A = this chain, B = another copy of it.
Amino acid sequence: MLTKKTKYGLKAMAYLAGIEPGQTALVADIAAVNQIPKKFLDAILSELRNAGFVYSKKGKGGGYMLARGAGEITVGDLVRTLDGPLAPIQCASKRLYRKCDDCDEARCTVRLVMLKARDAIADVLDNTTLEQMRGLGQIPIDAVSESAGAAMDMARG
């Protein structure tokens, strides 16, 4: 399960993807609209800024904006930044791999299953950009929940 921090971060990024390009949004506004504690969101956006996803400007007329186009930021990368590896267990992670100390890796069947789970998760999250995520809000719900594959194709298209 993702932490609230990650969920808040994704919602904030979706918000930023929705404002006019070149405009900035205030933390206070993002927090109010999405029901996120303001100070907590401060820290989250700060982290996203250090990771290069958003650009910030202080003072009057300041605020946050995306550092790149919404079509060039994937949900997968945001989740990795805020929540850590996509894989269910770290020894099954590809980008944030770390050896686990309680089993022999080559023969650990749990790891082999989780490797497949990781690929399935990454296939969804790494192929969904902020722009596509926003687009999901305009699709009738039953079309999304009905078939993951069909929805994916739509999102990719």
- Using a CB–CB cutoff of 8 Å, the interface residues on chain A facing chain B are 1-2, 4, 7, 10-11, 14, 34-36, 75, 84-85, 87-90, 101-104, 106-110, 112-117, 119-121, 123-125, 128, 133-134, 136-137, 139, 141, 144-145, 147-148, 151-152, 155
Instruction: Please indicate the chain B residues that have their CB under 8 angstroms from the CB of A147 in the complex.
Output: 104
A149 to B75, CA, bound (A): 22
A69 to B110, CA, bound (A): 18
Which 10 residue pairs across A and B have the least CB separation, nearest first?
Answer: A119-B148, A120-B120, A109-B137, A112-B136, A35-B102, A2-B88, A10-B110, A117-B124, A120-B124, A109-B133
Number of copies: 2
A125 to B35, CA, bound (A): 33
Q: Which of B10, B35, B109, B134 contacts A14 (CB 8 A)?
A: B109
A11 to B90, CA, bound (A): 16
Establish whether residues B110 and A133, one from each chain, have CB atoms under 8 Å apart when the complex forms: yes
Q: Which of B89, B117, B151 contacts A7 (CB 8 A)?
A: B89
Instruction: Please indicate the chain B residues that have their CB under 8 angstroms from the CB of A137 in the complex.
Output: 107-109, 112
Establish whether residues A88 and B1, one from each chain, have CB atoms under 8 Å apart when the complex forms: yes
Instruction: Please indicate the chain B residues that have their CB under 8 angstroms from the CB of A148 in the complex.
Output: 104, 107, 116, 119-120, 123
Instruction: Please indicate the chain B residues that have their CB under 8 angstroms from the CB of A106 in the complex.
Output: 139, 141
A66 to B7, CA, bound (A): 38
Q: Which residue of B lies closest to A84 (CB)?
A: B1
What are 25 A-B contacts defined by CB distance under 8 Å?
Answer: A1-B84, A1-B88, A1-B89, A1-B90, A2-B88, A2-B89, A7-B89, A7-B102, A7-B110, A10-B113, A14-B109, A14-B110, A34-B102, A35-B102, A36-B102, A75-B113, A104-B148, A107-B148, A109-B134, A109-B136, A112-B137, A112-B139, A116-B148, A120-B124, A120-B148
